[in-house]
Structure 1
Amino acid sequence: MTEFPITDDDGLVQCACEADEILRLLADASRRRVVESLANYEDTWIHREQLAQRLAGSHEEEPINNWERDLHHVHLPMLEDTGIIEYDRQEGTVRHYQCDGLADVLDAVEPE
């Protein structure tokens, strides 16, 4: 299996994820939006509520509460399981890591 390193800001490898995990993560359009939003965020830390606001901001038909619920129960746990993020459920904070394989697949699926 092909593995892709997941690195922090300093380039230190935190873990690795397999190609199948990346494809499973990006199979969902909402999760692609989450991953893209995290990748485009200027900091490596963000609060779940702030992320929900960013995601709902351009789509008024999607209430922030729905995004917060889906982030907390579905998207963030899946991303955390693969090591792409660290998610503190109590504090609602998310730390995002870099995975070139994830970015490459996302660019191929959602070209700008």
Structure 2
Amino acid sequence: MTECLITDEDGVVQGSCGLDDVFRLLANARRREIVAVLDSSDANWIERDRLLADPSGTDDGMEAIEARDALHHVHLPMLEDLGLIEYDRQSGAIRYYQCQLLSSVLAAIDLR
């Protein structure tokens, strides 16, 4: 299986992810949108509310409350379990770590 390092802005390795993990993560349109926003951000952190305020039109018709709940209870925990983010549930701050494999797959499917 192909493994890729997950690094912070200083190049310090935070973990690794595999190709199967990346495909599982990107299998959902909402998560692709979330990861694209995180990956294209100039900073290594973002506020949770910004992810809700930046829809790309792939919302699947979910109500705002359902979208917020899915972000908080499904999508962000999945990213956190893979080691791609640290999510402070109290403040809503999300710290994103880079994964070149994930970035490459996103570029290949051209979501940006």
- Please classify the TM superposition score into its range, dividing by the shorter chain length: 0.7 to 0.9
Higher helix proportion (structure 1 or 2): 1
Which residue in 1 is equivalent to 2:97? 97
Task: Tell me, in whole angstroms, the C-alpha distance in 1 between the residues paired with 2:88 and 2:45.
Answer: 11
Aligned residue for 2:17? 17
- 3-state SS of paired residue (1:70): helix
| CA deviation map 1:19-71 (0-9, x unaligned) | 1101100011110000001111221111111221123xx54966543332221
Deviates more, 1:38-47 or 1:1-10: 38-47
Q: Distance in 2 between matches of 1:48 and 1:111?
A: 20
The TM-score with structure 2 as length reference comes to: 0.86
Q: What code does the residue aligned with 1:17 have?
A: C
Distance 1:66 1:110 in 2: 27
Q: Give the share of equivalent positions with the same residue, in percent.
A: 48
Q: How many residues align?
A: 110
State how 1:18-97 maps to structure 2 within 5 Å: 18-55=18-55, 58-59=56-57, 64-97=64-97
Shift of 1:81: 0.5
Cα deviation, residue 91, structure 1? 1.9
Unaligned runs of 5+ in 2: none
Whether the aligned pair in 2 keeps the contact of 1:6 and 1:14 (CA below 8 Å) is yes
Residue 83 to residue 12, structure 1, CA distance change in 2 (3 Å) = same
Q: Which runs of 5+ in 1 are unaligned?
A: none
